[in-house]
Structures are given as structure tokens and as C-alpha cells.
Structure 1
Amino acid sequence: MTNIEATGWELVKVGEKPEERKWTIDTNALSSDELVVEIAGCGVCHTDLSFHYDGVRTKHDLPLILGHEISGVVIATGGSAQQWMGKRVIIPAVLPCGECDDCNNDRSNVCRTQVMPGNDIDGGFATHIVVPSRWMVEVPTSFEGDLASLSVIADAVSTPWQAIERSQLSFGDVAIIVGCGGVGGYCAQLAKSIGANVICLDIDEKRLNGLKELGIENTIVTAELDNREIKGQVKEIVKNNSWKRSGWRIFECSGHPNGQTLAFELVGPSGVLSVVGFTMGKVTIRLSNLMAHDAKAIGNWGCKPELYHSLLEHVLEGGVDLESTTEQRPLSTIGEVFTQVHDGCCAKRIILVPDY
């Protein structure tokens, strides 16, 4: 195989429907460590929408194919990566250099020369992608399920996995999830799967009902409540279940100033606040609460590739329900899908599957 005909949908101008692009991949021009992955599916993330609608700048100039939650099959390799031929893989959303101070200090997720599909290079809303082989995550041959469904592990599932790992959440701890959309919902599932006592907070009752169907019983609809009332209900749930009254792990996944303010106000004695969601909005907090409660706040950016293998194993053992929380759509409907996700019309995580 010398040439591979590829098709993708690229963002040409902010706010306008992605345009179809066709090109040829010359496999003879691959670098020694590069792979061509035939894409099985690519999840639609709100980061993609921020590039498309909000004018958040991609590192690579437009036009650019977006998408960073990718799974697929290796169909061509460079000379030193031939062992990957035919393997099914998940492509981490962040591909670090592996050599810099950040990478050597266990912070490869913030590598300053990292490559992110759909930001630094063409991404996954396409039939094929060219990526370096170093950080690929092999899907075991024992997996007999749908490869496209695993694409969301690359970000929506891996991001809360790293946040949970860094918070040192363990069996019997109280985990409070603020904002239970895609990332927050998976955070709740992961926390429950390791034996934490989970409380989910969201303004959308439908989201919370979906989590109840997955066995997460303790939820609070926050839309009509002030923060004092919400905190009171959280304390009541903890008391009624005889759970730990300190050391709560709070995961802010809403990416909204109101959610961030609430999450900070929930921090109590020896608590840990993990900031997972992002907003350009500002919040006003009394930072001394961290001192007074001997608590800490942790920022979380994506997930370092080193954690993907344990996460994939955990997911395949049943730690996360992907089937009931995702929905697959044809890649050619990307314009319609972006509009629907942006307007909040999709209850499930959308995965775009090539239909060429």
C-alpha cells in the first residue's frame, strides 16, 4: 500500500459548517515512527465546539480537521513502527514529547511541545489520521465489542480518570461531582466503580436520572437552589448514610462560574477540590478557606498517556458503561451534529463514524 485516499471535514471559518476535504496520504513519506490509523470513531467534545463556535484559537492555523477522541486500526507504518501494523488502538488526546522537564517530572500531560489531534495537527473527524506511534494504546485482542465506542476514552473518560487518581480518591470516600454532562457523568461512574460514595449535582434533572439508571442514587437538582441549600442537602445525604464527614473529594466538571463557586464552597475539613471543567468566566472566592480547612485544590489538564492503559483495563472490566452513554452518527452529518450538541439537544456523547 503506497497511497491511501482519505476524506475529512475541516473547519475553514469560525461558526461556519465544516467543509469536506479529500487528500492522499503517501505512506512512503511517513516518518520512521509514524502510523496511519483508519478511524473507527471520533467523539464530539465541547473543546471542538469552542474552536468551531467561540473562536478559541487552534494552535495550527485554519483550515484544520478537528476531533481528538479517536479509536481505529493501524493500516500503515513507518520503518521503526511496524509492530503496530493491524493493531486496534486508542489515540491519546495529548501526545507529549517524552523528553522535557515536564515529561520527566510526571507531568507529560502539560508537555509544552505536546501534539494534540484537532489542535496542533489534523484530527479525527476523518477517515484516516497520521500520528506518532510512541503513545498509542493497544486494544487487547480479547475485546470483541465495538471499537468506535472506545473513542471517548481518549478524553471524556481519561480526563476524570486522571483527576480521580490525583485526588487519591479511594474506597469509602465521599465523591461530589458538580456538573454531570459527558466528563462529569463519566467521573461519577468511575468514582462509583472504585467504591466511593457518590453524590451528583446538576441543573439538569434528565442528566441525573440517567445516572440513577446506572446505579448512582444520590443526586441533587440544583437549578432552583442556592448554595447554602445545596450544601445542606449534601450534608443530609452524608449524615443519613453515615458516610465520612471530612476528606470529601469534590470534582468540578461543569466548566461554569456558578459550578466552580459551588464546588469551592463545598470544600470542608481535609477536602480536595479537583478543577476539571474550564470557563473563561471569573469567580470570587475566599481562598483562605483552603487554609482554614487544611484542604487543597488541584488543577487537572487532560490525562497523561501513561494512565491510559490502566484506564482501558478498568473500562473493559465494566468500570464504565459506554454503550448506554454514547450514540453513533455518520461523519457526513457533522454539521448537523455540531449544531445539536451546541444547542444541548443530545443526551448522549456523540461519536462520529466514517461513512465513506
Structure 2
Amino acid sequence: MEPIKASGYFLSEFNKPLEKRDFVIDQVADDEVVVKVAGCGLCHTDITFYTGQVTPKHEMPLILGHEISGTVVATGSMGQGWMGKSVIVPAVLPCGECELCKNERDNICQKQLMPGNDFHGGFATHLKVPFRVLCETPENLGDFKLPQLSVIADAITTPYQSLKRSKLKKGDLAVVIGVGGIGIYMVQHAKIAGATVIAVDVDDKKLAAAQEQGADYIFSAKGKSEKDLKNEIRETVKANKLPRYFWKVFETSGTGAGQQTAFSLLSFGGTLAIVGFTMEKAPVRLSNLMAFDAEMFGNWGCRPQYYTNVVEDVLSKKIKLLENIQEYPLDDINKVIGLALEHKLEKRAIFVP
């Protein structure tokens, strides 16, 4: 192949500015392609890698970033059909052959690869990636640009899978705890599915955005005990003749406090999905699951085969995307990470090389 000159921002030391470095891609495996990055979203997981709260699997220096869209500009011998196509790179790349993959749990494949964790990710101009589960995007993106679709790779698909696994149906009551970068899309997916949606957060701006994007009722948890919050929600449920039981609760804040709140809202026959990630521990009484005959599950990423449905919902504007993202030049990455660490980002950042 013709050598490709590329550059990226490398994590060399935890909590230190990412270092911009040039590199050359001069070879590609038979089952790989080279993607010219159009956009790459900044996720909370990237921040945990940056701070060292979670250690990446790949040795440092490492290019982070796993919410990636771009165009295939070079291929190995087996991937020539992908040449020139615009794609979204799934955040979880399963092997497709193991016991988990064959039992429709490919999102937790133990041989899975994650950009920005197992190999160099999308905070770069180019990256190499296996082509086996790439999601091709339509040629006509309508009012959207390819960089904007990058966040489909995690922020929008992850809550979609959790909704599928919860078996939420029309007429159900969905309660979303934390309506930030992941939760705002959880609200929208639940609304599209026909649920009545309750949004809970400590940030009034996020609650207002959730209401604008589909939440039927909003509740601030700021300064309230779990008991008081649950009583408020129960009163609203009773007054509006909403389902008393079988609540579908989605924890998307990725905080210990959010997990405690979500667990406290379990109802008889209810379901709790842990969608957000945190290293914090939440003290809960697991016997509540038994007493309520309730269910709880964790959700890791999204099966690649679900991506097409989500892309369709975004392009048809069933999912509101543009209201929740902001593009930045890739060279601003260290400044934007600083804002993220200070909790000053109001929208999900997308880096454009």
C-alpha cells in the first residue's frame, strides 16, 4: 500500500496533556482497513482512561477515542469492497466466532476489540480497524455531516441496546436517572418505543433539555432523599394514572449516587438497567430484588447489528442529535478535556481533524 501520513494525540502519562505526534501507516492486515477520521466523540470512558481511573488495555503511548466516523481510504486484501465507503466504527468489535458471539451476546465477546483501549483510537487523522463489523452510512446524510454521526458509536447505540434488553413496550413507564450524554438519548429511545418517560437529574438545564426532547415528567433529585424523591414520583404516577408496577429504570448517570437512586426506584415486577459506568460503589440491599420479584442487568456497549436501526432513527430525525453535540478542532483536544474535567461541557464534544 501507499504509505499514509497521519497524526494523532497520544496518552503517554495519566493526567498529562495528550501529545500530538506524526506517524505513518504503511501496512494493513488482510482483514483491516484504514479509516480517515471525520469525527470522534469524547466519552466519559475516555476521561477515565485519561485520569488513570481505569487503565487502558493497550500499553501507552495510546491514542484514545472510540466514537468514530470516517471514510475508508485503504484496505487489506479481504476488505477491498469497503474502499471509499463512509462508515461508523462500532465501539465494540466482537470476534463473531466465540460462544458469546454465537449466543447473541457479541457485545461482551472476550476477544472484542475497542478503539482507544485495545488499539489506537479516533483522536487522530487516521486509524486501522478490522472491517468485519463496520457500519456503512448512506450516501445521502440529509441535513447531517459525517463527523456528527460519530457519537452514534456509543452515546446513542448503548442506550438503544439497554432498551432492547429491558423489553420496554408501548404504555410502559420508563424512568431515566441522569440525562446527560447517554441519558438524553435514553429518554428519546424510550419515547420512540411508546413509553411514558420520567427524567431525573440534579441539573436543571439537563432536565429542561430532556423535557424538550421527549420526557413527559422531570424531577430534580438535588438535595432530596431517595424516599422523598420516590414519593414525589409516586404522587405523579397516581395523579396521572400511570403504571404503578413494572417500571423500567435506566441508570445512565454513571455515578454511585445515581445507582443508589435508581435502585431505590425499583417497583414490583420492575427492571433496572445499569447503563452508565463508574468506579464508585453503591451500597444497596440486594434483597429488594427478591422482595419485588424485580430484575436488574448491566449493559455493555451495543451489538453492531443494531447500529443500522439507530442510524435510520437519527437521519429521519426521530432522534434529536444536533441539539446535543458541539464540534471542535482536534487540535483543541487538551482544552476540551480540561473543560470536561471541570464539568463545564454542556454538549457532547466531537473532535474534527
What is the CA-CA distance between 1:100 and the residue it aligns to? Answer: 0.8
Deviations 1:193-239 (A, max 9, x none): 22111000001111111222224241111112111111011112222
TM (normalized to structure 1)? 0.96
Q: Which residue of 1 aligns with 2:282?
A: 283
What is the CA-CA distance between 1:92 and the residue it aligns to? Answer: 0.2
Q: Distance in 2 between matches of 1:333 and 1:213?
A: 30
Pair 1:52 & 2:32 matched? no
Pair 1:226 & 2:229 matched? no
The residue matched to 2:104 in structure 1 has which SS?
coil
The residue matched to 2:160 in structure 1 has which SS?
helix
The residue matched to 1:319 in structure 2 has which SS?
coil
Runs of 5+ consecutive residues of structure 1 not aligned to the other structure = none
What is the CA-CA distance between 1:325 and the residue it aligns to? Answer: 0.3
What is the CA-CA distance between 1:105 and the residue it aligns to? Answer: 1.3
Q: Which residue of 2 aligns with 1:208?
A: 207
Query: 1:28-43 residue pairs with structure 2 within 5 A?
Result: 29-43=27-41
TM (normalized to structure 2)? 0.97
Pair 1:138 & 2:133 matched? no
The residue matched to 2:279 in structure 1 has which SS?
coil
Q: RMSD over aligned Cα, in angstroms?
A: 1.2
Q: Which residue of 2 aligns with 1:189?
A: 188
Deviations 1:116-173 (A, max 9, x none): 0000000000001110110000101232321111100101111111100000111111
Q: Which residue of 2 aligns with 1:257?
A: 256
Q: Distance in 1 between matches of 2:203 and 2:251?
A: 15
Pair 1:25 & 2:25 matched? yes
Q: Which residue of 2 aligns with 1:120?
A: 118
Give the counterpart of 2:105 among 104, 107, 120. Answer: 107
The residue matched to 2:232 in structure 1 has which SS?
helix
Deviations 1:224-278 (A, max 9, x none): 2111111011112222222211111000111212111111111111100001112
Pair 1:10 & 2:29 matched? no
Q: Distance in 2 between matches of 1:123 and 1:276?
A: 22
Pair 1:129 & 2:108 matched? no
Query: 1:335-346 residue pairs with structure 2 within 5 A?
Result: 335-346=334-345
What is the CA-CA distance between 1:111 and the residue it aligns to? Answer: 0.9
Q: Which runs of 4+ in 1 moved over 3 A?
A: none
Q: How many aligned positions are there? A: 352
Q: Distance in 1 between matches of 2:94 and 2:285?
A: 35
Runs of 5+ consecutive residues of structure 2 not aligned to the other structure = none
Pair 1:73 & 2:71 matched? yes
The residue matched to 2:249 in structure 1 has which SS?
strand
Percent sequence identity over aligned pairs: 47
Amino acid in the other structure paired with 2:257: N
Amino acid in the other structure paired with 2:180: G
The residue matched to 2:78 in structure 1 has which SS?
helix
Q: Distance in 2 between matches of 1:54 and 1:198?
A: 35
Q: Contact conserved, 2:271 with 2:295, CA < 8 A, in 1? A: yes
Q: Distance in 1 between matches of 2:210 and 2:255?
A: 20
Q: Distance in 2 between matches of 1:338 and 1:322?
A: 21
